[in-house]
Structure 1
Amino acid sequence: MTKIHDDSYSNQYNQKVLIEKLKKNTVKAGQKLVYTVLLLYYTLQKDNVPLKVKATIIGALGYFIAPFDAIPDFLPMIGYTDDFGALMMALAAVSMYIDSEVKNKAKTQLASWFGEASENDIDEINGKL
């Protein structure tokens, strides 16, 4: 597995590109992956998160944004598996900074994109925090 805080992926991070990729690929990527990205994104916005933790988040989000990674995103069924693995590793590393405010923001945004957020998907990810 690629190191998620690798500088080559940190350099890929761009807030605008992240939001555009999420909007464009929400259905294809699935609610679990999108919710995970949103948890990391909203955690990154918090003032009390240390720079080292933010660097981990930026690395994982940069990997998600990167057009070419271990498994190209355009491959049906498996394209986002490597992205999801990197995002879950980052989520585990920063979970102590994810509070109810971050979860609520992520859930609200997820619902606005999907219409109705899957409680099972949300609960599955929250259970790993």
Structure 2
Amino acid sequence: MKAKSLAALAAALVIAACASPEGARPDSAGSAPEQNGAGARFSCENGLSVQVRSLSNSQIELRLDDKQAVLNSAVAASGERYTATEGLFGKGAEWHQKGGEAYFEFTDPYGNKVNTTCRS
């Protein structure tokens, strides 16, 4: 009888651990910037400073100096990826973020493709 009680107790503990609120929270290291909040500022390796703000579950706003663009959620193997066909300078842009690091790609006003890594 003791073995059955011990097994039932162990099963209950496992189920309780799986259902705890701690397990239900998303990992903040891979989450998008605060939704509808002030967002996050990223400093990029090429000297740019980018402000990122979540507009919804599927859109973010990027601000770079006096330029801004709204990017839409896209499929990513890891982290969160956002793209737009008309980015900061009327051309495409991509923001791929995982934790406090992001890969940023856009086309500048002269048609040059810019790739840089940014950190919050």
Same fold (TM over 0.5): no
Query: What interval of TM-score do these two structures reach, taking the shorter chain for normalisation?
Result: under 0.3
Structure with a larger share of its residues in strand: 2
Look at both structures and tell me which one has the larger radius of gyration over its CA atoms: 2
Question: What TM-score, normalized by structure 1, do the two folds share?
Answer: 0.22
Higher relative CO (Cα under 8 Å, sequence separation at least 6) belongs to 1
